Amino acid sequence: MTDRVTDLPDLLHTAHTYQLPPAVLGEIRAMLDTAFDGDFGDEDWAHGLGGMHAFVRDRHGIAAHGSLIMRRALHAGRSYRVGYVEAVAVRADRRRQGLGGQVMAALEAVIDGAYDLGALSASDDGAGLYRARGWRLWRGRIETLGPAGPEHLPDEEDSAYLRPAGAAPLPEPAAGALVFDWRDGDVL
């Protein structure tokens, strides 16, 4: 005899923020709070809303999550439509089981179909996942168009990763700064 609850497979879901009921958003937020050991604030949560979510649900609830929002970045006289990855985490008991890769594959499919390029800011713990998936560390200057004009973000220059969308080439650091749109909290 099998136990139907424990035999349920992990289920990958994708949905836009507006399609997720408050209870599911609450589950996602609770998992992120726990996964980031309490270092996931309201601004971090807000940054991950308003776009696509990919999440894995197992018999214990939300096991992994990532979201993709649209941002703009300027570089060498061009404005890029950027699929920006936010709020990626895997519950502690499910890490190193491929769930982060499943979430990223779903988000990368959206990047390939809807954006000029993908971007994200990686933690030291997460950088290996992104590098293994073909994301490339941006080796140039990072700026933002802040309320008072352009602002240099030197602390982001060792954690910003880009991914080409389809066959599109990535911007070249030698051609100048990558300038992201402004937002409250962490800009990247």
- Bridge pairing between strands 52-58 and 11-16: antiparallel
Q: Please count the other Cβ atoms lying within 10 Å of the Cβ belonging to residue 124.
A: 8
Position 8 scores a pLDDT of 58
The reported pTM is 0.93
| 188 residues of the chain, pLDDT tens digit each | 334 445 557 899 999 999 999 999 999 999 999 999 999 999 999 999 999 999 999 999 999 999 999 999 999 999 999 999 999 999 999 999 999 999 999 999 999 999 999 999 999 989 999 999 999 999 999 999 999 999 999 999 999 999 999 777 888 999 999 999 999 888 98
- Bridge pairing between strands 61-75 and 178-181: antiparallel
CA end-to-end span of the chain: 50
Asked if 75 and 43 count as a contact pair (C-beta separation under 8 A), the reply is: no
Domain ranges in the chain? 11-181
Position 45 scores a pLDDT of 97
How far CA 149 is from CA of 145, 152, 187, in Å, comes to 5, 10, 14
Q: Which CATH architecture has domain 11-181?
A: 3-Layer(aba) Sandwich (3.40)
Position 18 scores a pLDDT of 98
Helix (H) or strand (E) holding 25: helix 22-35
- Which residues lie below 8 Å from residue 162, measured CB to CB, with a gap of 6+? 117, 118, 119, 135, 136, 138, 170, 171
Position 168 scores a pLDDT of 76
Closest CA to 42 of 53, 29, 31, 52: 29
Place of tokens 């699929």: 83
Start-end of H helices in 48-132: 99-114, 127-132
Position 9 scores a pLDDT of 74
Position 7 scores a pLDDT of 54
Q: How many CA atoms lie within 13 A of 124 on its CB side?
A: 0
